[in-house]
Amino acid sequence: MPGGDSPSGCSLGKPRVKPAEYTQDDDDSVQRLTATTAYLLASDGPSTFGYVAKKINSYGQYVIDNTGQVDKRLMVVLDLSAAAEGPSNIRTINGLVTFPFLGAINGVFNTSPDAGPGSYNYMYIAATRETSPNAPPALGLNAFSQATNMPLEIESAIVSILSFRPYTVTKIYNT
């Protein structure tokens, strides 16, 4: 799918600002990257549905906006160096101040916090507090639980960058 494969249907879309090019440090051979801001494009194969909106619904979930209006999109920032190494947090720029990270929230009817092939488990995409990379889903503050009074497990360190060209290809992590 353009922009990346993601079980949640969301992928990092075209960056709002072109990411910094790789630079080589004279003292070592580690490639350095910087953070970038982006909008999140929801797609499934060749079909695109719109961008993740900056407003949430009455359940505290981010929704898809297909109006094409840039000012309605959720803008996020991702540390490209960290995301190239493994699961990383996605901070929202114009989302909820109380919950400044975009995260996955365990579905209400899930039988476990794992989602994947052959599983009927699912995740909500919502505003959360920060969680540590590689940590399993755990109860945590989030917009969904606040709106519904249902405490659910969250993860915010859920994305990594697999490739930058020809598209930004992401991987969504789940336990």
Find the Cα–Cα–Cα–Cα dihedral 116, 119, 123, 129, rounded to 10°: -60
Token pair of 161 as six digits: 């960058």
Is residue 46 domain-resident? yes
Report pLDDT for 175.
Answer: 52
Is residue 3 domain-resident? no
pLDDT, tens only, 148-174? 999 999 999 988 877 665 455 555 655
Spatial CA neighbour of 35 closest among 14, 13, 11, 15: 15
pLDDT, tens only, 13-44? 544 444 444 444 444 444 556 778 889 888 88
pLDDT, tens only, 71-102? 999 999 988 888 888 888 999 999 999 999 99
**Burial of 175 from C-beta contacts in 10 A (0-12 / 13-18 / 19+):** middle
For the chain, how many structural domains are there in total? Answer: 1
pLDDT, tens only, 96-130? 999 999 999 999 998 887 777 788 888 889 999 99
Is residue 137 domain-resident? yes
Is residue 142 domain-resident? yes
Would the pLDDT of 5 be above 50? Answer: no
Is residue 1 domain-resident? no
Is residue 81 domain-resident? yes
Structural domain harbouring 88: 10-22+30-172
Is residue 2 domain-resident? no
CB 68 within 8 A of CB 48: no
CB 35 within 8 A of CB 78: yes
